[in-house]
Chains A and B, each alone.
Chain A
Amino acid sequence: MSRVLLLQGNQAVVEGAIAAGVRFYGGYPITPSTEIAEGMAKRLPQVGGKFMQTEDELAGIGTVLGASLGGAKAMTATSGPGFSLKQEMIGMACSAEIPCVIVDVQRVGPATGQPTSPSQGDVMQTRWGTHGDHWLIVVSPSSVPECFELTRRAVELSEKYRCPVILLMDEIVGHMRERIELPDSYEGLSVPRRKQPDTPPEKYLAYADTDGSMVPAMADFGSGYRWHMTGLVHDETGFPKGTPAATKNSQDRLHLKLRNHEDDIVQVENYRTEDADVVVIAYGGAARTAYDAVDMARDEGIRAGLLRPVTIWPFADRQIQAAAKKTKCLLVHELNCGQYVREVGRAVRGIVPVDLYAKYDNEPATPEQLLEKIRESAEKIKGAK
């Protein structure tokens, strides 16, 4: 049995997390993500989980890492200013390979910016916000039902690959309410937990790649398996080791455990791209404008389509290159001065022109505004013939 509800994106994140089996939340509320903290505070005690409101964002993600080391699926949520504060611990989670989910509901920045207005200014920060040569996963929902699904998927990926996963949202999707159908029972929706060691405690090497997946088994703290956790470069014992060989081994594994599984991790949605001359690339809340603009362009005879990256990082190189080979022009639409577009340009390597419709005035673009840009791109290709 299921129920039809009108939920905010933020509320659907809460339900997705509960369904996935998240049982710890630590954080500090901040607009426009506050409903996630509010919802987790209500829902976690109902399912035997723990909610902790900490003194600030740093402590919030600190408790999340601790809870995860103790064996819980754990999550926090924030917006730009808090996301900046969490960067140090995100690096810690990359280095020590601690599964966790961090939700960033973007608002206008930099600094305090505009708390209640939409922006997509944190796209590059999700990738490169913490220092060091790290890899991690970022996914971005465009609708309320997708907030539920992608939160589950974020938890699943973080447990499977032992890395932080960032659920990148924006105020549009976080605060918008729409129809969602939720099952009455979440039984069977919990995602698999991190791989457990099959060796006895005395033989356990915390960071050994025992099955070729490059993802080591992770024993819960307190389970009788003793291991050392550090942010220093370490070898398979978990203790610091600074030799060139140990450093390279460690870096290789942290990168390749994700890079080798891009087919599993990277997802995009294609909408009317099959015969498109202009392919719009848009993600998150901005993609909602793009669906309508594409339909309007089709209505007036312009063959337009939408490629919507669901996984933002690792970058959808293969999918975007494939689109570039089939179309005549790519038009990136994002709610910042142009961030994702730089990666699109790199991936496409001049195969087709890459246009940009950057909108950064704290309002989403209307379909009419984006349609105008599609017309301009379509006109340019005609002129180039």
Chain B
Amino acid sequence: MKQNFRFSGTGGQGLITAGIILAEAALLDGLLAVQSQSYGPEARGGSSKAEVIISDQPIRFGRVTHPDTLLVMSQEAADKFSGDCDASSLIITDSLFVKDVQARDARRIDLPITHTAREACGKPLFANIVALGAVVALTKCVTTESLERAVLDRVPKGTEDANKKALAAGYEIAKKSAGK
């Protein structure tokens, strides 16, 4: 069992943090994980991507060449990072930012990620955690217990409740979309 994830968007959206949290959740589940990233020299802005491979076998090459799940949080990232998806890939897009993806035959689920972060937690800042909730709800790659623990281990003190809300909101929008 090997699952390849790519989270892409704009620098500052917290996607590398989301990748780290997902990998840590996998370790909590007793699986192996490798997380890598690429970003430009800018502190903010510029397109950024984080990749996570989860497996029960040793992982050597640490980059994703064919995402099973691609999260896209900006149109620029969609243009840059969706080209290597195909019909077997799941592409989750943030409806606020993404119009079109390159791999048109991939299964695409458009979710109001940033919108929900603002509604549920008061700030678009929580979009990465909402997105994580949605990714895990749709792929079941890690247990929700491990995901919550990994989120709470990583986020600043005092933001635990808001982050729990963000996770729950992420599960919710994913379930709604699956019910459609």
- Give the interface of A toward B (CB within 8 A): 4-6, 31, 115-117, 172, 175-179, 288-289, 291-292, 364, 366-368
B→A interface (CB under 8 Å): 20, 23-24, 27, 32-41, 59-63, 65
Contact A366 B65 (CB under 8 A): yes
- Rounded to whole angstroms, the CA-CA distance of A6 and B16 in the bound complex is 13
- Cross-chain contact A178 with B61 (CB below 8 angstroms): no
Indicate whether A291 sits within 8 Å of B33 (C-beta atoms), given known contacts A6-B20, A115-B41, A116-B40: no
A117 to B65, CA, bound (A): 17
Query: Is there contact, CB below 8 Å, between B40 and A178?
Result: no
Out of A4, A292, A366, which one reaches B27, CB within 8 Å?
A4
**A178 contacts B62, C-beta separation under 8 Å:** yes
- B69 to chain A: closest CB distance in Å? 18
Contact present for B36 and A177 (CB under 8 Å) = yes
Chain B contacts for A179, CB-based, 8 A: 27, 32-33
Q: Is the CB–CB distance between A367 and B61 below 8 Å?
A: yes
B60 A178 Cβ-Cβ under 8 A? no
How close is B56's CB to chain A, nearest CB, in angstroms? 12
Selected A-B contacts with CB under 8 Å, 21 pairs: A6-B24, A6-B33, A6-B35, A115-B41, A116-B38, A172-B36, A175-B37, A177-B36, A178-B33, A178-B34, A178-B62, A179-B27, A179-B33, A288-B62, A291-B60, A292-B60, A292-B61, A364-B63, A366-B61, A366-B63, A366-B65
Closest 9 CB pairs of A and B: A291-B60, A177-B35, A288-B60, A292-B61, A178-B34, A6-B24, A176-B36, A292-B60, A176-B62
Q: How far is the CA of A179 from the CA of B32 in the complex (A)?
A: 7
A6 to B37, CA, bound (A): 14
Q: How many A-B pairs fall under 8 Å by CB?
A: 53
Q: How far is the CA of A79 from the CA of B37 in the complex (A)?
A: 18
Q: How far is the CA of A6 from the CA of B32 in the complex (A)?
A: 10
Which B residues are in CB contact (< 8 Å) with A177?
A: 20, 23, 34-36
Closest residue to B52 on the A side, CB-wise? A177
Contacts of A175 in B (CB 8 A): 36-37
> SS class of chain B's interface: helix, strand, loop or mixed?
mixed
A31 contact from B23, B37, B41, B60, Cβ within 8 A: B41
Kindly list chain B residues whose C-beta atoms are within 8 Å of the C-beta of A31: 41
Known: A289-B60, A292-B61. 14 other contacts (CB 8 A): A6-B27, A116-B39, A116-B41, A172-B62, A176-B35, A176-B62, A178-B32, A178-B59, A179-B27, A179-B32, A289-B61, A291-B60, A364-B63, A366-B63
* CA of A314 to CA of B38, assembled, Å: 33
Complex Cα spacing A5 to B35, Å: 13
B residues near A4, Cβ cutoff 8 Å: 27
User: How far, in Å, is A58 (CB) from chain B's closest CB?
Assistant: 23
Min C-beta distance of B54 to chain A, whole Å: 11
CB distance from B112 to the nearest CB of A (A): 30
- How far is it, in angstroms, between the C-alpha of A176 and the C-alpha of B16 when the chains are bound? 11
How near does chain B come to A141, taking the closest CB pair, in angstroms? 14
Q: Are B34 and A176 in contact, with the CB atoms below 8 A?
A: yes
Contact yes or no, A6 B63, CB < 8 A: no
Q: Nearest B residue to A118 by beta-carbon distance?
A: B38
Q: How far is A288 from B36 in the complex, measured between Cα atoms in Å?
A: 13
Q: For the complex formed, measure the closest distance between the CB of A60 and the CB atoms of chain B, giving whole angstroms.
A: 21
CB distance from B151 to the nearest CB of A (A): 14
Chain B nearest CB: distance from A376 CB in Å? Answer: 20
The residue in chain B whose Cβ has the minimal distance to the Cβ of A112 is B41
- A291–B61 CA distance with the chains assembled, in angstroms: 8
Q: A301 to B35, alpha carbons, bound, how many Å?
A: 31
For residue B35, which residue of chain A has the nearest CB? A177
Q: Report chain A residues within 8 Å CB of B40.
A: 116
CB distance from B30 to the nearest CB of A (A): 9
Say how far A5's CB is from chain B's closest CB, in angstroms: 8
Q: Give the distance to chain B from A269, nearest Cβ to Cβ, in Å.
A: 13
Closest Cβ of chain B to A265, distance in Å, is: 26
User: Which chain A positions have C-beta within 8 A of B63?
Assistant: 364, 366
By a CB distance below 8 angstroms, the chain A residues around B61 are 288-289, 291-292, 364, 366-367
In the complex formed, the residue of A with least CB distance to B50 is A177
A366–B33 Cα distance when bound, in Å, is: 18
Tell me the minimal C-beta distance from B11 to chain A in angstroms.
11
Q: Whole-angstrom distance between the alpha carbons of A42 and B86 in the complex?
A: 44
Given the complex, which residues of B lie within 8 Å of A292, measured CB to CB? 60-61
Across-interface contacts of B34 in A (CB, < 8 A): 176-178
For residue A289, which residues in chain B have a CB less than 8 angstroms away from its CB?
A: 60-61
- Which residues on the B side are within 8 Å of A178 (C-beta)? 32-35, 59, 62
Which residues on the A side are within 8 Å of B41 (C-beta)? 31, 115-116
Smallest beta-carbon distance B67→chain A, Å: 13
For A364, the closest partner residue in chain B by CB is: B63
